[in-house]
Structure 1
Amino acid sequence: MGFEFFKKKEDVKKGPVREWVDAIVFAVIAATLIRWAFMEAFTIPTPSMENSLLVGDFLFVSKINYGPRTPKTPLQIPLTHAKIWGTDAPSYSDAIQLPQFRFPGFGSVERNDVVVFNYPPEFEHPVDLKTHYIKRCVAISGDTLEVRDSQVYINGEKGENPENMQFGYQIATDQAINERVFKKNGVWDVREVNGGYFVHARPEDAKKFESLDFVKEVVRFKEPESYINHRIFPDATMFPWNADFFGPLVIPAEGMTIKIDSLTLAKYGSTIRDYEGLENVSTADGKLVIDGKELNEYTFQQNYYFMMGDNRHNSEDSRFWGFVPEDHVVGEASFIWLSIDPNESFLGKIRWSRLFNGID
Structure 2
Amino acid sequence: MTLTEWFVFFLIIQIVHFAGTWRLYEAAGRKRWEAAVPIYNAIVLMQIINRPKWWTILLFIPIINLIMFPVVWVETLRSFGKNSTTDTWLAVFTAGLYIYYVNYTQPLNYVTDRNLNPHTKTGDTISSILFAIVVATLVHTYVMQPFTIPTSSLEKSLLVGDFLFVSKFHYGARVPMTAIAAPMFHDTIPFINKKSYSSWPEIPYMRFPKLQSIKNNDIVVFNWPVDTLYNMYKAADKKYYKPVDKRTNYVKRAIGVAGDTVEIKDGIVYVNGDILKMPLRARPEFSYEVTTDGSSFDQAYVIQELNSTDGVYQTSQTTFQFRALTDDAVRKLQNNPTVKSVVRNISKETEPTIFGKKENWNLDNMGPIYIPKEGKTVALDKASLPFYKRIITDYEHNDLKVIGDEIRINGKIATSYTFQQDYFWMMGDNRHNSLDSRYWGYVPANHIVGKAVFIWMSIDPHKSGFKKFRTERFFTTVGGEGEPVSYFKFFLIAIAAYFGISYFVKKRKENQA
Global fold match (TM > 0.5)? yes
* 8 Å contact kept, 2:172–2:211: yes
Contact 2:313–2:321 (8 Å) recurs in 1? yes
Any residues of structure 2 matched to 1:1-360 within 5 Å, and which?
14-123=119-228, 124-162=241-279, 163-173=282-292, 174-185=294-305, 186-194=307-315, 195-224=319-348, 227-236=349-358, 239-278=359-398, 280-283=399-402, 285-360=404-479
For the 8 Å contact 2:252–2:428, the answer to whether it is kept is yes
Taking the aligned partners of 2:114 and 2:132, their CA distance within structure 1 comes to 29
Indicate the SS of the match to 2:189: coil
**Distance apart, 1:291 and its partner CA:** 2.9
Q: What are the Cα deviations for residues 110-133 of structure 1, in whole angstroms up to 9, with x where unaligned?
A: 111000000011143110000001
- Note the C-alpha offset of 1:10: 5.9
- The separation in 1 between residues aligned to 2:185 and 2:114, in whole angstroms, is 41
Count the aligned residue pairs.
Answer: 350
Cα gap change, 1:28/1:287 in structure 2, threshold over 3 Å: closer, same or farther? farther
1:346 & 1:42 partners in 2: Cα distance? 23
Partner Cα separation in structure 1 for residue 454 and residue 115 of structure 2:
50
Q: 1:193 offset after TM fit, Å?
A: 3.1
- TM-aligned CA deviation for residue 284 of structure 1: 5.7
Superposition CA RMSD, Å: 2.0
Q: 1:28 to 1:181 in 2, by over 3 A?
A: same
Deviation at 1:357, TM superposition (A): 1.6
Secondary structure in 2 matching 1:240: coil
Q: How many angstroms apart in 2 are the aligned matches of 1:290 and 1:145?
A: 27
Q: Report if aligned partners of 2:150, 2:161 keep a CA contact under 8 Å in 1.
A: yes
TM-score normalised by length of structure 2:
0.65
In 1, the alpha carbon distance for the partners of 2:199 and 2:367 equals 38
CA distance in 2 between partners of 1:282 and 1:36 (Å) = 38
- The residue aligned with 1:3 is none
Deviations 1:17-38 (A, max 9, x none): 1111111111111111101111
* Structure 2 CA distance for partners of 1:205 and 1:15, relative to 1, 3 Å: same
Higher-strand-fraction structure: 1
Q: Relative to 1, partners in 2 of residues 1:306 and 1:358: Cα closer, same or farther, differing over 3 Å? A: same
Deviates more, 1:11-20 or 1:151-160: 11-20
Q: Higher Cα Rg: structure 1 or 2?
A: 2
Q: Are the counterparts in 1 of residues 312 and 323 from structure 2 also a CA contact under 8 Å?
A: yes
User: Which one has the bigger helix percentage?
Assistant: 2
**d(CA) in 1 for partners of 2:153 and 2:117?**
57
- Provide the secondary structure at the position in 1 that maps to 2:413: strand
| Equivalent residue letter for 1:344 | K
- Higher RCO (C-alpha 8 Å, min separation 6): 1
8 Å contact kept, 2:152–2:159: yes
| In 2: Cα distance, 1:23 partner to 1:259 partner | 58
Q: Which runs of 5+ in 1 are unaligned?
A: 1-6
